[in-house]
Structure formats: structure tokens, C-alpha cells
């Protein structure tokens, strides 16, 4: 991907083993998996607005942080984001269309909050009420 563009994501700070990390989540709920990244990776991701190439991102990182990051490292982050469908690209568009088609074709649409806000099974739900 020449100029990666990250989708809208939530970056939630956490501490793990004394390190400051960030969990990236899809606030639209289209992807239920999350991705954990370092502060430096989060900065690199923030530069992925679709207007910069990997080299541009590399140069901006060098100007701001004062340390060289290899384009292979940036590409690895891009690949991880792409695997989680967190980039605006053809792969995400295809995934979204498939999700939309499956939803529209389903005679019974599953509850989005079942198992999250209330029990998912009928028996558990009955005892909940």
C-alpha cells in the first residue's frame, strides 16, 4: 500500500509489564478484535492519513522523534493494521461489503449486544429477567 490510511480507531492507554501501550479498537464495531501497539507505533499510525508514503512517514518520524525507523518496520505495522481491517483500502471495503450482504440476506438478524450487555442464550436471558 503506497499511502496507507488508517480508519477511525480508538486508542486506549494501558500499562503492561511496566510499559505504556495502547489498544486500538474499532469504535464502529465492524471488527471485534483489537491490536496492541507501543507509543512510537501509535505515532507512526497517526501519520497514516492517506497523504503520506512510507518514506514520508519515515522522514516525519525522524524529524519528530530523532530516530530512524526502517521502512520494513513501518510496513510491518501497516500489515498488522491491514490484518485487523483497520485500514481504509480495498481489502476493508471488500470485507465490509461481505458483512453488509450477509446481514441483508439473513432472515434473522442476530442481536448485537447479546453476550455483551446481557446473556446470549435464551436460558441465561430468562434467568436474568
Please check whether residue 75 is in contact with residue 54, taking contact to mean a CB–CB distance below 8 angstroms. Answer: yes
Q: Indicate the pLDDT class of residue 69, thresholds 50, 70 and 90.
A: very high
Please check whether residue 74 is in contact with residue 56, taking contact to mean a CB–CB distance below 8 angstroms. Answer: no
Domains delineated in the chain:
1-89 (3.90.930.60)
Q: Indicate the pLDDT class of residue 1, thresholds 50, 70 and 90.
A: low
State what percent of residues in the chain have pLDDT above 70: 99
Distance from C-alpha of 21 to C-alpha of 39, rounded to nearest angstrom: 6
Residues paired with 80 in a beta bridge: none
State whether residue 108 is helix, strand or coil: coil
Its pTM stands at 0.82
How many CB atoms lie under 10 A from the CB of residue 112? 9
- 129 vs 4, more confident: 4
Quote the DSSP letter at residue 27.
T
- pLDDT (tens digit, 9 = 90+) per residue, 6-49? 999 999 999 999 999 999 999 998 888 899 999 999 999 999 99
How many CB atoms lie under 10 A from the CB of residue 83? 12
Mean of all residue pLDDT scores within the chain = 92
Please check whether residue 51 is in contact with residue 62, taking contact to mean a CB–CB distance below 8 angstroms. Answer: no
Is 52 exposed, middle or buried, given 0-12, 13-18 or 19+ CB atoms closer than 10 A? middle
- pLDDT of 110 above 70: yes
Amino acid at each position: 500500500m503506497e499511502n496507507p490510511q488508517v480508519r477511525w480507531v480508538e486508542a486506549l492507554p494501558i500499562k503492561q509489564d511496566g510499559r505504556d501501550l495502547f489498544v486500538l479498537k474499532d469504535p464502529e464495531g465492524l471488527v471485534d478484535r483489537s491490536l496492541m501497539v507501543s507509543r512510537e507505533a501509535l505515532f507512526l499510525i497517526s501519520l497514516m492519513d492517506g497523504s503520506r508514503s512510507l518514506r514520508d512517514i519515515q522522514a516525519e518520524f525522524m524529524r519528530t522523534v530523532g530516530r530512524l525507523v526502517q521502512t520494513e518496520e513501518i510496513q510491518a505495522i501497516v500489515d498488522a493494521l491491514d490484518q485487523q481491517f483497520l485500514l481504509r483500502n480495498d481489502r476493508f471495503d471488500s470485507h465490509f461489503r461481505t458483512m453488509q450482504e450477509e446481514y441483508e440476506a439473513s432472515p434473522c438478524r442476530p442481536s448485537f449486544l447479546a453476550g455483551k450487555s446481557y446473556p446470549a442464550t435464551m436460558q441465561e436471558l430468562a434467568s436474568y429477567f
